Amino acid sequence: MTALADMAQLAPRCAGKSVAVVGNAAWMQEATHGPAIDAADMVLRFNQGFRFCAPETTGVRTDLLALGAAGALGAYDAFLARTMPAAIWTRRLDSKATAKFLGVAGKFREVFHYDQGLRDALHGELGRQRPTTGLLMVHWLLSATNAARIDLYGFDFFATPPIFAHADVPKVFHAPEAERALIERWGIEDPRLRFVSRA
């Protein structure tokens, strides 16, 4: 079984770095952020968003892939043939999803397990709603790393469906307006965090 490393081992690698955090809003397929994303020191993507990488729109680099679901396991094969990112698994170790994820974990360069204390804290702030993978990672970058700059691309809090979804089902499980309020507050409190506009 693949060992899942503690996130504390990953945090120092972000120190002094610019991090492009690439969300999965559907309009990213029409954006022109690709060159800026790929120019960052570190590129972080979520879940199945990597399937839509393109040089001009979303960029092609992926250094970290944060996952809240194992998804279609075969989808990783082509992706890993061209890049070998580290993965961050955000679910509890005793979940059924974790058992499924461990089936592909060995394909990644390294695998880290998200700090469950941070996850539980966010869960409480959101009125017991499940935090999105994106919110988890922004919270971790701000609270546990010394990243120099954190640029958010493709975050619209389900105003449009995720780039890989056919419906807006994720709204049922998450609290998009509460997440928007949290991230906007963090942006005021921490100048490292920057929203990149849709254009």
pTM reported for the whole predicted model:
0.90
Q: Rounded to the nearest 5°, which phi and psi values hold at 184?
A: -65, -40
With both helix axes pointing from N to C terminus, report the angle between 133-144 and 116-125 in degrees, rounded to the nearest 10.
110
pLDDT on residue 45: 94
pLDDT value of position 128 = 75
Q: What is the mean pLDDT of residues 182-192?
A: 96
CA distances in angstroms from 25 to 3, 108, 142, 164, 169, listed in the order given: 32, 25, 22, 9, 14
Is residue 142 a contact partner of residue 150, using CB atoms and an 8 Å limit?
yes
CATH (residue range 5-195): 3.90.1480.20
Read off the tokens for 157: 């809090």
Q: How confident is the model at residue 194 (pLDDT cuts 50, 70, 90)?
A: very high
What pLDDT was estimated at residue 152? 97
Which pLDDT score is estimated for 83?
79
155-173 residue pLDDT tens: 988 877 777 665 544 445 7
Q: Which two tokens stand for residue 25?
A: 């809003």
- Helices 116-125 + 176-189 axis angle, to 10: 110
Tell me what pLDDT residue 75 has.
Answer: 67
User: Can you give the pLDDT at residue 71?
Assistant: 66
Tokens matching residue 46: 């979520």
* Unique residue bearing structure tokens 């929203």: 195
pLDDT at 94 over 80: yes
pLDDT at position 176 is 87
Q: Residue 134 — φ and ψ, nearest 5°?
A: -60, -45
